[in-house]
């Protein structure tokens, strides 16, 4: 759990400072989880999905450690997640991304331009901040901070 916390802290601007109890709750509430490990038992990849098993699934928190990027690991991680029965059985799978659109397009996803991404933050003080500038991209074109991408089963 601490390795997951570290991986998210280091590589996911949207998932920093998640508590261990919060992460445990997150894992329990996920429908499918895929991890990638180095031989020395270091966690280097993580991805998860929530799903109703029939109509809609959403991918969350897809990440590969910096020193393992660019070797096809991210593709394998997402393909494994998509092949999980809880995700593969859904008629449509969504995800949100602010800087990895090309990565997901290579996996068959396409940008959704006909819908708006909307959000409602909790008032408990634990809501994730929406800071697209943190990923180095900013809002250069004044567009939304995250794009919704969907993949339909053939
Ligand atoms: C996005 C991420 C998961 C990709 O992992 P990776 O292991 O480097 O990706 P792969 O090596 O499997 O790349 C697969 C293909 O996507 C391409 N690709 C990888 N990252 C890309 C990006 N950010 N934008 C466009 N294309 C990308 C690769 O060039 C490769 O193309 P090819 O099949 O033509 O050779 C990884 O860069 C990451 O963890 N980023 C930080 C967290 C993040 O942004 N996650 C996604 C948020 S939803």
Q: Ligand 1 atom 17: the closest Cα is on which residue?
A: 103
What is the per-residue pLDDT for 122?
A: 84
Q: What CATH number did the domain enclosing 103 receive?
A: 3.40.630.30
- Tell me, using a 6 A CB cutoff, whether residue 33 lines ligand 1: no
Three-state SS for 123?
A: coil
**φ, ψ dihedrals at 147, nearest 5°:** -100, 145
- Domains held by the chain: number: 1
What is the per-residue pLDDT for 143?
A: 33
Q: Which of 13, 100, 136 to mutate to test the pocket of ligand 1 (most atoms within 8 A of CB)?
A: 100
Q: Give every CB contact of residue 136 below 8 A, 6+ residues apart in sequence.
A: 99
- Tell me, using a 6 A CB cutoff, whether residue 64 lines ligand 1: yes
pLDDT digits (tens, 9 = 90+) for 120-144: 998 766 666 665 533 332 222 233 3
- Tell me, using a 6 A CB cutoff, whether residue 45 lines ligand 1: no
What is the per-residue pLDDT for 91?
A: 97
Query: Could you tell me the residue range of the domain that residue 122 belongs to?
Result: 2-152
What is the per-residue pLDDT for 129?
A: 60
- Tell me the average pLDDT across 60-83: 97
pTM value is 0.85
Task: Give the count of alpha carbons within 13 A of 134, CB side only.
Answer: 15
- Tell me the average pLDDT across 102-116: 95
Instruction: Centre a 10 Å sphere on the Cβ of residue 113 and count the other Cβ atoms it contains.
Output: 7
């Amino acid at each position: 759990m601490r390795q997951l916390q570290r991986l998210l802290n280091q590589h996911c601007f949207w998932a920093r400072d998640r508590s261990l109890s919060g992460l445990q709750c997150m894992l329990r509430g996920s429908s499918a989880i895929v991890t990638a490990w180095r031989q020395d038992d270091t966690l280097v990849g993580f991805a998860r999905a929530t799903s109703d098993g029939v109509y809609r699934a959403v991918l969350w928190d897809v990440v590969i450690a910096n020193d393992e990027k660019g070797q096809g690991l991210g593709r394998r991680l997402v393909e494994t997640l998509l092949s999980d029965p809880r995700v593969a059985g859904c008629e449509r799978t969504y995800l949100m991304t602010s800087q990895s659109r090309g990565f997901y397009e290579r996996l068959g996803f396409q940008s959704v331009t006909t819908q708006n991404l909307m959000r409602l933050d909790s008032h408990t003080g634990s809501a994730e901040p929406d800071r697209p500038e943190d990923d180095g991209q900013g809002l250069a074109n004044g567009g939304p901070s995250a794009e919704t991408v969907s993949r339909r089963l053939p």
